Every structure is written in C-alpha cells, then in structure tokens.
C-alpha cells in the first residue's frame, strides 16, 4: 500500500506537468501545433499559461499540495494554521510562482490582513481549491468519512463555496477508498455503485446530480467528446471533478489511456487539462500504484525523488499514528 502513496503524489504531479502544456487550448490548436494529442512531456504551447516553463515542471496546483504534505509531516497532523503559514510564506515568494490561481492569492491576502472571506463576499468554486484534499485522502485512508472532513477543512481555508465543500469531501473519500482496495472497478456494477456511494459525501443535491450524470454517461457508453459536452471541462469544480471521474472509470481497464485522455481533455473549446490530469493521475496511482505510469516519464518528472521521499514518510507517519487518529483527531 505504501507504493500507492507514492503513486498518488507522483501521478497527480505527472498529470499536472503534462496537462499544463495544453491548458486552455482548443483541439484544433493542439493538433495544429503538436500534430495530434500530447503523449508525454512537450514544450508548453505559446498560448498556454505555462508557456516558458520546462515540459517536466509542475504548476502551482502541485506546489500547494506539496506544501500541505510538508505541513502534515512537520506537525504529524492536519494543522490548518501551520498550513496557512506555509501558504503565506509561499505567497510572498513571488519568484517561485508558476501562474497560481488568482483566487488563491486573493484569499491569502485577505486572510493575512485579518479580513474574513465571508465579510469580503469572496467565494470560489475553482477546482484548484479542492485538489490539495488528495493528500488528506492518503493521510486518513483508513476512514473515508474522516478523510472527507479533513479534505473540506484544508480546502475551505481559501476557497469557500458549496461546490468546494462537496467536491473536496468526495475527492478525499475517493482517494481513501481507492488506496484501501475496497472496490473491484473492473466490474461495471461496482463502478456505478462507487459513484452512488460518493454522493453520500455531498451535502447539496445539485452537486449530487453532477455525479449522477457521470453514472448515466457510463451506462450509455458515451465517449470523451460527449462527456465533455455534457459535463464540461473548465476549472469549475463541478465540471473538472465529474469529468475526471468519467475518464478514470471509463478507461479503468487501460490506465495509460485514462491518463492521456485526461491530459488531452481540452475538447473543442479548451479546458483545465492540468487539473483534470492531476485528478486522474491521483486516481490511477491510488488504484493501481506506480505500475500505472510510464517509467521514463516518471524519471523525467521534476523533483520526483523528493515527492517519493515525502510520500514514503507520510505512509510511515500514517501507519504509526492510526490508533491515535482513530479517536477522530484530524
């Protein structure tokens, strides 16, 4: 199971790194520039927000998750105040930024000035706010319900909305379930059952309906193009998250196809391919372990040894402290 911890962190970073190169591009622009779908590390397209970065570098979507992971290792618990201190330090180091989510920057600025997000009327439903909850799914893998609560806690620090509340909870719980190996997703009925179960972690009916739509598309045998049309592929949490679920479950018998569909999920009008790649990479790592990913790509990913080292330490701390944390200490 420790292999899965490493695979979640590496897989999400890998999806982010490759997906960033074609973010916000249309299918026509991608095919014209690259000659077809991207199938590995490529130079970021000139119209991509990642233009100027190296092919194997991650965006700040991975950076924020790593900050949370480091915080958990340092505190041996989820400490939202300690995590925010890390966010604030990162915020001030602008030279290290890699086109961060503007919502995140604004939230950090408001909070550090003593202004609550509610009083400022500042709300966000961007998927970037929920991605970090993947780390919590590992830390609380033994208890998906505790995982969901922890995922909400770390996400709502900077992104407040009904969408983020539900998506962060579902995402954390999903990672816990996949790591634990409780589901045989090669069985079509279990894929659909898993989606029904995830809805238990959603409070709002509108958000549950987005997951039900994924079920319908799988039952209908829909392809990626139809899924993008029906679900959307933007950075809105209730587009990126449901689409990532569809891609993962639709291609469960072919992990590499799932991965490359995710990073190429731009569709006709462009999409948040790095976030969707991040999510599907995390799911694949949680379910299959490191075998889901091409070894050469993994070896070329920036800081991969550091990511693996962090994940191994997280596994050790998690296993050492399960009895204590089963008393509902986040």
Summarize the annotated binding site for Mg(2+) as residue ranges. 59-60, 272, 274
Q: Among candidates 262, 213, 238, 251, which has minimal Cα distance to 12?
A: 262
Nearest 5°: phi and psi at 126?
-75, 135
Binding-site annotation: residue ranges: 59-60, 272, 274
Our CA dihedral for 139, 142, 145, 149, rounded to 10 degrees, sits at -10
Q: Among candidates 120, 156, 108, which has minimal Cα distance to 136?
A: 156
Cβ contact 292:11 at 8 Å: yes
Q: Give the integer Cα–Cα distance in Å for 125 and 160.
A: 7
- Please give the span between the terminal C-alpha atoms of the chain, in angstroms, as a whole number: 21
Both tokens of residue 44?
């970021």
Q: Residue 116's CB: how many other CB atoms inside 10 A?
A: 10
Cβ contact 282:301 at 8 Å: no
Would you call 180 exposed, middle or buried from its count of C-beta atoms within 10 A (0-12, 13-18, 19+)? middle
Q: Give the integer Cα–Cα distance in Å for 7 and 281.
A: 8
233-101-65 Cα angle (round to 5): 90
């Amino acid at each position: 199971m420790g292999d899965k911890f490493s695979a979640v962190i590496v897989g999400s970073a890998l999806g982010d790194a490759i997906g960033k190169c074609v973010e916000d591009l249309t299918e026509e622009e991608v095919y014209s520039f690259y000659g077809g779908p991207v199938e590995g590390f490529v130079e970021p397209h000139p119209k991509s927000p990642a233009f100027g970065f190296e092919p194997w570098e991650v965006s700040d979507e991975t950076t924020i998750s790593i900050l949370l992971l480091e915080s958990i290792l340092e505190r041996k618990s989820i400490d939202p105040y300690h995590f925010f201190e890390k966010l604030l330090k990162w915020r001030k180091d602008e030279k290290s930024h890699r086109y961060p989510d503007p919502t995140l920057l604004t939230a950090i600025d408001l909070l550090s000035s003593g202004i609550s997000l509610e009083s400022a009327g500042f709300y966000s439903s961007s998927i970037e706010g929920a991605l970090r909850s993947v780390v919590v799914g590992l830390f609380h893998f033994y208890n998906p319900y505790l995982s969901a609560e922890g995922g909400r806690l770390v996400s709502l620090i900077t992104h407040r909305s009904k969408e983020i509340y539900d998506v962060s909870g579902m995402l954390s719980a999903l990672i816990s379930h996949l790591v634990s190996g409780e589901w045989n997703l090669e069985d079509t009925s279990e894929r659909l059952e898993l989606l029904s179960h995830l809805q238990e972690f959603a409070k709002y009916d509108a958000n549950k309906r987005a997951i039900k739509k994924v079920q319908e598309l799988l039952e209908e045998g829909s392809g990626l193009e139809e899924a993008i049309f029906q679900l959307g592929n933007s950075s809105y949490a209730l587009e990126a998250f449901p689409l990532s679920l569809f891609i993962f479950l639709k291609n469960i018998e072919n992990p590499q196809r799932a991965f490359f569909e995710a990073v190429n999920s731009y569709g006709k009008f462009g999409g948040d391919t790095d976030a969707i790649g991040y999510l599907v990479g995390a799911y694949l790592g949680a379910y299959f372990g490191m075998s889901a990913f091409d070894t050469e790509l993994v070896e070329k990913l920036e800081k991969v040894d550091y990511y693996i080292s962090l994940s191994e330490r997280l596994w050790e701390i998690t296993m050492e402290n399960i009895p204590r944390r089963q008393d509902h200490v986040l």
